[in-house]
Every structure is written in structure tokens, then in C-alpha cells.
Amino acid sequence: MRPSLWCLATIAFVSTSLLAVDGEPSPAAKKEATQGNWTGWRGPSRDGLSAETGLQSQWADGGPQLAWKVKGLGSGFSSVAVSDGRIYTMGKKDGTTMMIALSTKTGEIIWEADMGAGANPNCTPTVDGDLVYGLTHSGQLVCVKAANGEIAWQRNFPSDFKGRMESGWGYSESPVIDGEKLVCTPGGNSAVMVALNKNSGELLWSAEMPPQVGDRGQDGAGYSSIVISEIAERKQYVQLTGRGVIGVDGESGKLLWIYNRIANSTANIPTPIVKGDYIFCSTGYGTGAALIQIHQRDGKFEVEEKYFLEAKKLQNHHGGMLLVGDYIYCGHGHNQGFPVCINMMTGEYAWGPERGAGTGSAAILYADGHLYFRYQSGDLALIEATPLGYKLKGKFRTDEVNGQSWPHPVIAGRKLYLRDQGTLMVYDIAK
């Protein structure tokens, strides 16, 4: 393995409230759970670990009860964010991408904000207090006021930052908020990642991609979202791009390191998992999975590959991965969601791959000791989160299946939110 090196001298630290400890829900997730919130992609720490408790540990035949559903949200694969009694999502309606706010009690639409014409959106909105952020398929970044949907500011990735995607399925990330900064991934070689003032959209810094990064993948942004981390005594933004996993200095925007081997030339999708100085990453299209460790030596950052798993052993196409305790849970296989559990530090199977309760890739979430596997086929499985074996605790088919059921499940206020194109279904999963 050939390490990649970039360095910077300034040391900064990430707020510990954002970080999960030993694969458990973070303090931020615990705070959100007490409020019935889930403010963005994979939760406040972007690890897919919910701190909700008091949830059903077994599903009867037919699954949990449907509390309510609402139609008319438009097409697309956006999931939902939940904050202070409102649900935020995105959808294409009559050729226009809309940001939509709904009531958590009834599903009534409170407001809609016009984000511009374009294809079906993939982004899940990010909520930060009285502002909500979303990204269209074509790269229009829009900040709206949570109170009424009024647009506060907007930037365009291709025109403002010479941004590009690695391939043609459109921008998909959910921007991340870190203090006063909004950080996102336009994908341009001179601005692969940028930090903006979250209140005005003013550019604070841009990260440059070096000309030689390896022979795998393609230039441009991937389909992943940024994770805020503290690695090797430095605040870093970790992201999977078209050229692989990168680490960017949280203060200056300098690219510190890159791991190219995990990149493929079609679509790099799953959000990486960070634990201390270790990063677990995977991609589909016949690529595989890897554990890397980041070292800081003499002011330089080095990537050490701890192991690499070939695609036949583990590849997460999309749907994401979870670290619970010492174990990684995910769906294995290209366009498959075969449940599997592996030891993060060794790469060895604890169990699986299992056939699973549905077909196609599986979008997953953890809460209250269980895994929620939502299959592309519209089937949903409840699986005990244990390395001792595959324990299916119930399954059901969602009330509607309008296509590929890719949007990630969300739990907030002991309700399970499942977006399926223009329909949002909300299930009561309290004990």
C-alpha cells in the first residue's frame, strides 16, 4: 500500500457532543431523542445510531401500526429530518424541486419552498435551529427559514465552485453544520470541499484536490455525506469522494490525506464510519471494504491500511453501515442487502451473510438494541443488534411501494418515518 501524505500544523478539536463513543449513540443523539428530533442525514453524528428507547422489540404479523400517511410530496429519494414538531423533506413537483415542511402530528403541509427546476432530489435536508439546508440534484444549495420557507441564501456548486459529480446520478449529499460553518462537497478540483458561513453562504475556505491521487475512481463528488471527526489530534471532515476517502482540516480546509483504493469509477456511496483514528469504508460495483488508520508523524498525515476485504466478502452498495459496539452491521452485496455482522478491527465475520427478509439494497438504522433494515423491495425487517447470530424479530411490507424503496428510515418521537416517492408513512413503534 502506498500512503498518501498532506500536512498542516494547526491543531483543532471537534466537540465531543457530536461523537459516538465505542459504537454507542452520541450525546447529541441522546439529546435529540429526548426532544423527539432527528435533524439530518443519519442523525446528528451521521452514524445512523438513534438513542430512542421504549421501542417495540418484536413485531407481530403485519408489523407496527400505521399512524398516518400523507401523499403529494413529489418524486425523489430524499429521506426526512424531524425538528421541533416539523418534518422536512424534498421532492420534485411539476418539474420543480421543493423543500417541504409538514406537521409531525398530522402530516399537513405547512409550507413549500421553490428550489428551482431539476431532476428528482436525493438530499435529505439538514436542520440547524431556525434554518434548513438542502441540495438539489443539479447542485443548487439552498438555505431556507424554518418558520416560513423563505429563502435566506443560495449557492450553485457548478457555477460558484466549478463543481462536478463523479457520475450522472446527481448531487446527493446532505450538508453538515459545524458551529458557524456549513461544510459541503462541490467536487471541483479546486474546491472538492468548501466551508461556508451558515448564515450568509459566504465562502470561508475551499479544499483543493491534488493532481495525483491514485488510479482508481473519477474526479468529482461522490454520493456520500461528510462526517465531523477528531483524528490524530486534529478536527477533520471525512468524506467519500469520486477518488476515495479524504480527510480535510476543519480549520483551514487543507486536504490532509486521501485513500484511493476504495474508489470505483461508477458511484461511491456509503458514508464512512469513524472511530478514533480508524475509518471503515466500503463501496459497491465489485470494489470491497477497508479499515484504515490515520497517523500524524512529524507534522504529516499518513494512511495505513489495516485490512482490505474483497467484494465477494463485503461490499456495501448503498444503504449504509452501522458501528454498534465493536461490530459493523450492513447489507452486503452489489444491489443486495444481505445482513452481515463483522468485527470492525479484524474484518472477520461474526455472522452472515444472511438471505434477509427482502430484496435489493437495504437502508439501515439502529435504535434501542435493534437494526432496522429497509429493503429496496419495500420490505422492512427488525433484527437484534448482536454479534451472537442473526436474530430476526419481525418483518412487514410498507403500506405503499411506489418504486425503489431507497430513502433511509428515520426514528423520532418513537415513530418510524418511511418516505416512498411522494408518500410519507409514519408507524407507531412505541412499546
Q: Which structural domain range is residue 145 located in?
A: 6-428
How many Cα neighbours within 13 Å face the side chain of 387?
A: 13
Q: Per the domain annotation, does 134 fall within a domain?
A: yes
Q: Per the domain annotation, does 1 fall within a domain?
A: no
Total domains in the fold of the chain? 1
pLDDT of the residue at 299: 85
pTM: 0.94
- Domain of 254, CATH number, reads 2.130.10.10
Q: Per the domain annotation, does 117 fall within a domain?
A: yes
pLDDT of the residue at 22: 56
88 in Cβ contact with 132 (< 8 Å)? yes
> Residue 14 is placed in which grid cell?
471537534
Q: Per the domain annotation, does 159 fall within a domain?
A: yes
Residue 151 is inside which H or E element, if any?
strand 151-156
* Sign of the dihedral defined by the CA atoms of residues 368, 370, 374, 378, in that order: negative
* DSSP H helices in 132-184: 157-161
DSSP state at residue 52: -
Query: Tens of pLDDT along the chain (431 residues)?
Result: 333 333 333 333 334 444 444 578 999 999 999 999 999 999 999 999 999 999 999 999 999 999 999 999 999 999 999 999 999 999 999 999 999 999 999 999 999 999 999 999 999 999 999 999 999 999 999 999 999 999 999 999 999 999 999 999 999 999 999 999 999 999 999 999 999 999 999 999 999 999 889 999 999 999 999 999 999 999 999 999 999 999 999 999 999 999 999 999 999 999 999 999 999 999 999 999 999 999 999 889 999 999 999 999 999 999 999 999 999 999 999 999 999 999 999 999 999 999 999 999 999 999 999 999 999 999 999 999 999 999 999 999 999 999 999 999 999 999 999 999 999 999 999 99
Q: Per the domain annotation, does 351 fall within a domain?
A: yes
Q: Per the domain annotation, does 305 fall within a domain?
A: yes
205 phi-psi bin (left φ>0, alpha ψ -120 to 50, beta other): beta
**In a 10 Å sphere around its CB, with 0-12 CB exposed, 13-18 middle and 19+ buried, how is residue 401 labelled?**
middle
> Residue 416 is placed in which grid cell?
418510524
305 in Cβ contact with 261 (< 8 Å)? yes
Whole-angstrom Cα distance, residue 342 to residue 351?
Answer: 7
Whole-angstrom Cα distance, residue 176 to residue 40?
Answer: 8
